[in-house]
């Protein structure tokens, strides 16, 4: 339906003469009309032909206007209903609107009053049809995404398995060569084998990182109140013991409010951010790592800040890309997926993340967690 010339009206009134007069009048004004003298006959008409508007008399023997409207909406939920009533039953017409009618028109009919009501009804009908079309497209798109995610998941598992097999062969035979030939291997040949082994191990690490990234997207959210301060302190102590037992690092943990989040995912988020902070302050004298939060408008923003080497903000648009690195592997180890995982976790919670940094002046990572996290996995 694009204009009134194509609009189809179903007019239902047990007073046949009045019903026919209204049909004729509205046809003269560019509408296509079908008239019925009972609700039962109207339902039969609805089963066979789509209509844009239903004009139903409120008071009819047998099935009244409200009953007809409810039955008609069960057949076509996008149908727009308008009740026709006399002056003495306006309160009943209002009740009909609560049952699904868009509006009502009064008898005796005045064309100047009817046409604006029909215009509004057709506008609503058009919007309902557009919404229905959009919903179908969204459902189809979601189905496609779910299928694509399943295929991607299967591909990731298959690729991981298929890639590990030749890598294990490379690692195994390089080790056998070193063990069997022993002193017969020259220093240069031993270096070659070491390069082969390191590269194979690096590939294994990248495969592990790819699988971790994939799991973050598939993991269902279990939301609960999380004591962020306790979580951060526990993560920081574990990382300090594992990564920097011989280093002096000033760790400053500020006020951290409770958050509604998936606790394991939130823990992984802070593990990744704090691991980076410890790693990138390795060569910094008087290393300082700060964790805190601050209110920005209606949002609570968490941050992790360090005084490491930082990075050039002109490259920040690629910061959260998978396998993206801003430092050489001989400077700082890593697979390049840690921040990508952090971004996925924040997105799964309906928040957003960004960074501020400068070369030689450290880096700060800020993120929010929405009050109503997103339940759909990222794609």
Average pLDDT of 26-48?
93
Cis peptide bond N-terminal to 108, omega within 30: yes
pLDDT tens column, 220-256? 778 889 999 999 999 998 888 776 667 788 889 999 9
pLDDT tens column, 135-193? 989 988 888 877 766 766 676 666 666 777 788 888 888 888 888 887 788 888 888 88
Domain ranges of the chain: 7-109, 149-218, 223-368
How confident is the model at residue 107, as a pLDDT? 84
Pairing of the two strands 287-296 and 353-357: unpaired
The class that CATH gives domain 7-109 is alpha beta
Q: 51-60, 84-93, 123-132, 136-145: which has the minimum mean pLDDT? A: 84-93
Give the integer Cα–Cα distance in Å for 26 and 347: 53
CA 16 to mean position of chain CA atoms = 54
pLDDT grade for 323, boundaries at 50, 70 and 90:
low
Tell me the whole-structure pTM to 2 decimals: 0.52
- What CATH number belongs to 223-368? 3.30.565.10
The three-state DSSP-derived secondary structure of the chain is: CCCHHHCEEEEECCCHHHHHHHHHHHHHCCCEEEEECCHHHHHHHHHHCCCCEEEEECCCCCCCHHHHHHHHHHHCCCCEEEEEECHHHHHHHHHHHHCCEEEEEECCCCHHHHHHHHHHHHHHHHHHHHHHHHHHHHHHHHHHHHHHHHHHHHHHHHHHHHHHHHHHHHHHHHHHHHHHHHHHCCHHHHHHHHHHHHHHHHHHHHHHHHHHHHHHHHCCCCEEEECHHHHHHHHHHHHHHHHCCCCCEEEEECCCCCEEEEHHHHHHHHHHHHHHHHHHCCCCCCEEEEEEEEEECCEEEEEEEECCCCCCHHHHHHCCCCCCCCCCCCCCCCCCCHHHHHHHHHHHCCCCEEEEECCCCCEEEEEECCCCCCCCCCC
């Amino acid at each position: 339906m694009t204009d009134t010339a194509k609009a189809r009206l179903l007019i239902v009134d047990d007073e046949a003469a009045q019903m026919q007069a209204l049909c004729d009048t509205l046809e003269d004004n560019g509408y296509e009309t079908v008239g019925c003298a009972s609700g039962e006959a109207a339902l039969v008409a609805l089963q066979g032909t789509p209509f844009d508007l239903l004009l139903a008399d409120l008071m009819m023997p047998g099935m009244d206007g409200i009953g007809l409207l409810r039955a008609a909406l069960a057949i076509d939920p996008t149908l727009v209903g308008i009740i026709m009533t006399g002056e003495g039953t306006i309160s009943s017409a209002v009740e009909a609107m609560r049952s699904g009618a868009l509006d009502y028109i009064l008898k005796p009919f005045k064309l100047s009053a009817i046409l604006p009501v029909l215009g509004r009804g057709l506008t609503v009908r058009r919007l309902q049809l557009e919404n229905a079309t959009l919903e179908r497209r969204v459902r189809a798109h979601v189905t496609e995404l779910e299928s694509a995610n399943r295929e991607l998941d299967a591909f990731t598992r298959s690729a991981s398995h298929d890639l590990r097999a030749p890598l294990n062969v490379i690692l195994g035979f390089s080790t056998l060569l070193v063990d069997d030939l022993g002193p017969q291997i020259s220093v240069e040949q031993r270096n070659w084998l070491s390069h082969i082994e390191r590269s194979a191990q690096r590939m294994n690490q990248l495969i592990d990182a790819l699988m971790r990234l994939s799991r973050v997207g598939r993991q269902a959210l279990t939301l609960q109140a999380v004591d962020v301060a306790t979580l951060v302190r526990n993560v920081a102590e574990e990382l300090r013991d594992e990564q920097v037992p011989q280093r002096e690092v000033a760790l400053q943990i500020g006020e951290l409010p409770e958050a509604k989040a998936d606790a394991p995912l939130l823990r992984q988020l802070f593990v990744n951010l704090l691991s980076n902070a410890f790693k990138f302050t390795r060569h910094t004298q008087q290393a300082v790592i700060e964790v805190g939060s601050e209110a920005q408008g209606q949002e609570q923003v968490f941050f992790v800040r360090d005084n490491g080497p930082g990075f050039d903000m002109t490259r920040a648009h690629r910061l959260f890309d998978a396998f993206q690195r801003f430092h050489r592997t001989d400077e700082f180890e890593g697979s390049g997926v840690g921040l990508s995982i952090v971004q996925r976790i924040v997105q799964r919670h309906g928040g957003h993340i960004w960074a501020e940094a400068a070369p030689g002046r450290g880096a700060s990572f800020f993120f929010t967690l929405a009050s109503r996290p997103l339940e759909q996995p990222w794609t």
